[in-house]
Amino acid sequence: MCIRDRDDKVLYKSADELPTYHLANIVDDHLMEVSHVIRGEEWLPSAPLHVLLYRAFGWEDTMPEFAHLPLLLKPEGNGKLSKRDGDRLGFPVFPLEWHDPKSGEVSSGYRESGYLPEAVINFLALLGWNPGNDQEVMSMDELIKLFDLHRCSKSGAKFDYKKGIWFNHQYIQQKPNEEIAELFVPVLKEHGVEAPFEKVVTVVGMMKDRVSFVKELWETCSFFFAAPTEYDEKTVKKRWKEDSAKCMTELAEVIASIEDFSIEGQEKVVMDWIAEKGYHTGNIMNAFRLTLVGEGKGPHMFDISWVLGKEETVARMKRAVEVLK
């Protein structure tokens, strides 16, 4: 036996004594004192039934306002967004990682992929809605203050997952270095690195503007925590000159003698030495970077050596000379 409305929609199944979505949804929203129901346009045909149910229960005075929004579209814009689009293009479509109990298939989640919650909220809020100005990065309080249903688009919004990555980058820059460092510590441990938290905070402050995800910090700044075990072949060919071994040996002695090992203290001594010797500044600094980093990347050289400390800096230089001479 089923209780049906005039359109033959099932409201209650006596076989298992359970209400269907139509009935359960109405009762739940009423008891939860929901004021607005905002859902996809595929539910528009059910809206009249839900209104009739509110009236039938005598809840018309507290009935929520209904809004039906266009569906999210594929990144290309043709057709509704689906899980397959995420699998195909490599972006998550679920908030959390999902393991299908039947097939064993795993679908990536925003949390496990390294997205910050604030970035995801901001990104999703602007899919099919705009605040009426050019502002893009908004806190939850700002979104609440600015949100107006009348500014929602009447056409479907493309799911621009690259914009989601951009938002994550913005929020990483906004967060205090200490918070990002807390998130980076587990990544360091995965690579067998235990480092003083103060050092992690310092490195994060130098390097976080170069990444869109916290996990990318390791690839970007691992040289701060582990000495290079090899030297990039292309960089060596381009930057390591015939006299580089001799110059780096001299520079290691100069650095070992520096008393004020601050960034400014190092820079003055080294630059004065380069000028005195008549060496080419670019050649010296490029070779210096290669000895400490193992390739041609990283921030200002004296920032790197300051973080590493005098002893580690000199040790890396001597090892590079031995390997590359």
Asked if the structure places residue 78 within a domain, the reply is no
Core vs surface per residue 174-199: b (16+ CB within 10 A) or e: ebebeebbbbbbebbeeeeeebeeee
Which tokens is 64 given? 């929520």
- Report how far Cα 248 is from the mean position of its chain's Cα atoms: 38
Asked if the structure places residue 13 within a domain, the reply is yes
Asked if the structure places residue 77 within a domain, the reply is no
Rg (CA), the chain: 30
Q: What percent of the chain has pLDDT over 90?
A: 86
197 and 118 assigned to the same domain: no
> pTM of this prediction?
0.86
195 and 248 assigned to the same domain: no
Beta strand pairing status for 2-4 and 10-13? antiparallel
Instruction: Report the catalytic residues.
Output: 83
Q: What is the reported pLDDT for 1?
A: 43
Q: What is the CATH number of the domain that holds 216?
A: 1.10.8.70
- Percentages helix, strand, coil for the chain, rounded to the nearest 5? 55, 10, 35
CB neighbours of 217 closer than 8 A, spacing ≥ 6?
184, 187, 203, 204, 207, 208, 211
Q: What is the reported pLDDT for 7?
A: 59
Look up tokens 């070779």; give the residue. Answer: 287
Distance CA 5, CA 24 (A): 15
Amino acid at 181: A
Distance CA 235, CA 242 (A): 14
Helix (H, G, I), strand (E, B) or coil at 209: helix
Distance CA 97, CA 83 (A): 12
Which tokens is 271 given? 């630059």
Confidence of residue 324 (pLDDT cuts 50, 70, 90): very high
The answer to whether the CB of 323 falls within 8 A of the CB of 231 is yes
- Report how far Cα 60 is from the mean position of its chain's Cα atoms: 44
Distance CA 197, CA 143 (A): 34
Amino acid at 245: A
Distance CA 299, CA 218 (A): 14
273 and 311 assigned to the same domain: yes
Which tokens is 253 given? 């002695």
Distance CA 154, CA 37 (A): 17
Average pLDDT of the segment spanning 116-131:
95
Mean of pLDDT over the chain: 94
Position with higher pLDDT, 93 vs 261: 261
Q: What is the CATH number of the domain that holds 92?
A: 1.10.1160.10
249 and 280 assigned to the same domain: yes
Asked if the structure places residue 120 within a domain, the reply is yes
pLDDT for 5 beyond 50: no
CA atoms within 13 A on the CB side of 48: 5
Confidence of residue 15 (pLDDT cuts 50, 70, 90): confident
219 and 275 assigned to the same domain: no
pLDDT tens by residue, 34-69: 999 999 999 999 999 999 999 999 999 999 999 999
Confidence of residue 292 (pLDDT cuts 50, 70, 90): very high
CB neighbours of 48 closer than 8 A, spacing ≥ 6?
none
Position with higher pLDDT, 309 vs 98: 309
Confidence of residue 107 (pLDDT cuts 50, 70, 90): confident
Q: What is the reported pLDDT for 72?
A: 92
Handedness of CA 236, 237, 240, 245 (dihedral sign): positive
Q: In what order do the strands lie in the sheet with 2-4?
A: 2-4, 10-13, 18-19
Asked if the structure places residue 11 within a domain, the reply is yes
Q: What percent of the chain has pLDDT over 70?
A: 98
- Domain range for 298 is 233-324
pLDDT tens by residue, 185-236: 999 999 999 999 999 999 999 999 999 999 999 999 999 999 999 999 999 9
Asked if the structure places residue 76 within a domain, the reply is no
Amino acid at 50: H
Q: What is the reported pLDDT for 6?
A: 53
Q: What is the reported pLDDT for 16?
A: 85
Total domain count, the chain: 4
The answer to whether the CB of 264 falls within 8 A of the CB of 294 is no
Look up tokens 């839900």; give the residue. Answer: 50
